[in-house]
Amino acid sequence: MRTRYPLLPLAALLMRPASANFFLADSYVGHDFLQSWTWETFDDPTHGRVNYLDQATALASNLTFASDDKFIMRADSQNTVDPNGRGRGSVRIKSNKAYDEAVVVLDLQHMPEGCATWPAFWSLSQAGPWPHGGEIDIIEGVNLNNANLASLHTTPGCTMSSAGPPDRFMSGNVTATDCDASVNFNQGCGVQFGSPASYGSPFNAGGGGFFVMVRSRDASGPGVRIWFWSRDDPRVPLEVRAPPPTGLFAPASLYPTAWWGEPDAVFPLSDNCDYASHFDPHIFVFDLTFCGDWAGTAYSASGCPGDCNDYVNNNPQAFQSAYWEVNSLRIYSPRY
């Protein structure tokens, strides 16, 4: 657990002057997602029991909903699924804009939960073919998990230390160290968060929370850092909970300070994983699939009933809590 006044290395306390140069680039709230994101409809590359719908169909069937201050993506919880069809209706969207260095602030009210579910909020390169340009999983889990898993997936030659300080000051636990997507069944290099409120049912029961991902070439330590705070955590930084105001002559700016405490996950991108060689500008993706390569494989061990695909096909009511409810997504980019 993070402490309120963490003992961090001097480099972490002396934030670079350039940190003030991360300014608000885009803010996505409610209807903004309809205008600035694309609904993807291809077959699920992770072999899930899912039928991704286009925007018009998702809106008409209430699997997508937007208001002035809310954006919701949900699974079909009304209909059984044709065994010969692609799967349960759901939504996968991607941002139309790509970002390189960035501070990403997600205010999330609710995430999908339950048996057979596999939701993720992540980013990837469009340079292709995958995994060239890298993938960053910010939120991911399956079935009845209650702790978030953050991971990187890359081409060969990117590894992480299994040790803690001074390489990785973080509160999460290392699950794997080789980020190469071609080994270990594409496990990637992962960190499981320490907070049981960071994923699934416990996250939703607490009213959601805030995820912040920082991707930076900072000379003091380039890499990816991810923080999580539950909504009622008194340690949520004010600038995370409420957007910083726009200045008279410049947009609002944001960058982590020492008072944020230890990140939940840290992925240094230097000697063992060169930033420029493995990471391009990324688009962001929200998706919700079912079963497939991970949720299906882990289904029976998760304490879920019967066969995963049969469960998805025949139990629409089980997916009433399988939805994303996004309050806002703010992305800050550097100016040089």
Catalytic residues: 135, 140
Name 99's bridge partners: 282
CA distance 268 to 274: 9
Residue type for position 149: L
CA distance 58 to 160: 40
Cα distances (angstroms) measured from residue 126 to each of 10, 100, 325: 37, 12, 26
Q: Which of 274, 98, 292 is nearest to 179 (CA)?
A: 274
Residue with tokens 């994923």: 199
Q: Which of 266, 267, 268, 259 is nearest to 7 (CA)?
A: 259
Other Cβ atoms within 10 Å of 77 Cβ, number: 18
- On the 0-12 / 13-18 / 19+ scale of CB atoms within 10 A, 132 is middle
Residues in the chain: 336
CA distance 137 to 299: 21
Residue with tokens 């100016």: 335
Residue type for position 277: S
The dihedrals phi and psi of 52, each to the nearest 5 degrees, come to -75, 130
User: What three-state secondary structure class fits 107?
Assistant: strand
Give the DSSP letter string of 244-261: PPPPSSS--B----GGG-
CA distance 65 to 292: 26
CA distance 265 to 194: 10
